[in-house]
Amino acid sequence: MRKIYLLLLLLLTLDIAVMEEPWMYLLFAAEVVTCIVLFVQARLMWNGLEVGFSDKVQVMDFWRRRALDIKLDRGGKKTTRRAAVKLRMGYWQEQKKHSRKIYCGVSRIGEMKFAAKIPYCGLIKFDLEQFWINDRLMVFFAGKKLSDSMLLFVVPGKDALKIEYADAERNEDGSPEEPREGSKASVKLDLTGIQEADQRVLGNFYVLLSALVLGLLKCVSVVRVSWYDEWKQRSCCMEATGLEECRQMLMALYRMGLPDTEEAPETASILEDDSDSPDFCLDLQLRWFRNEQLIYQFSALELDTEMMRKSFTI
């Protein structure tokens, strides 16, 4: 829009100079020189400028909006500019990624932020495709193509299912005792059809799985989660003793199907599954079994409410 206004000003000045005031040619020439200076200045802004994600891998608790940082480095020079960035983003399982052009200011410390809507838990990939920065009067944008990417692991919060073992030992006040050292529970994940499942189904599954593991950890000290990786054709297993291990297990599940181009911290914790008869089973239809008997089937539409209100004695 500012370019249009500037063009109209140039045409008006030229018209006045031709029709009535020859001295206006000097003003027209000054305006043309100013435009050239601004145009060149916008391109000189790229000198020493490096644009990319400050972290190649980020982990965040599930929420529907998130401020992400893109790092700008001008060799120590501090500056404030208006900028624009073109991103391609989407869950890695999605065939079609969404492309966005985002206008934002650049802070003096060399970072800019933008909000992204995160509808489901899972692994989101951001590809930085192009970046523009403007002159001091914000008339001309100069840009160039970039190639940088970031993986964002969106993990569930700390919600846990309300689970009690019927034969659990209790304190004098009737509350269950702390889990005994070395007590275990095993959960088998039925991931049949995961390659065709959409992100809404997977997001609900990850939320329920996290709540199930954290709920079981109130009854036992270790929860062993096993699954079959259809991409690598192998059985896998991870053990969780708390929130951090639970999230590492989820991140390992998110990575299924990704090429092994880089080492991941959670990869070292993956074990070969040697369990014969798991205590529990959870599938993509949100059905929770114990010894092949259905305990409860959760609803995708009412999942948050059911996890909060339901209690299970098993």
**What's 291-306 look like in SS3?**
CCEEEEECCCCCHHHH
- What mean pLDDT comes out for the span 104-133? 78
For range 103-119, the mean pLDDT: 70
Cα→Cα distances 146→127, 130, 141, Å: 9, 5, 16
Instruction: Give the β-pairing of 222-229 and 184-190.
Output: parallel
The H or E element containing residue 18 is helix 2-19
Strand pairing class (141-155; 122-134) = antiparallel
Contact between 229 and 291 (Cβ < 8 Å):
no
Q: Which of 200, 234, 35, 216 is nearest to 121 (CA)?
A: 200
pLDDT value at residue 2: 63
Q: What pTM, to 2 d.p., does this model score?
A: 0.80
> How many percent of the chain have pLDDT more than 90?
29
Would you state the structure tokens that stand for residue 286, as one six-digit string? Answer: 């949100």
Instruction: Express as a percent the part of the chain with pLDDT over 70.
Output: 70
Q: What is the mean pLDDT of the chain?
A: 79
> pLDDT digit string (tens) for 14-41?
666 666 767 676 776 777 777 777 777 6
- What tokens does 308 get? 């909060």
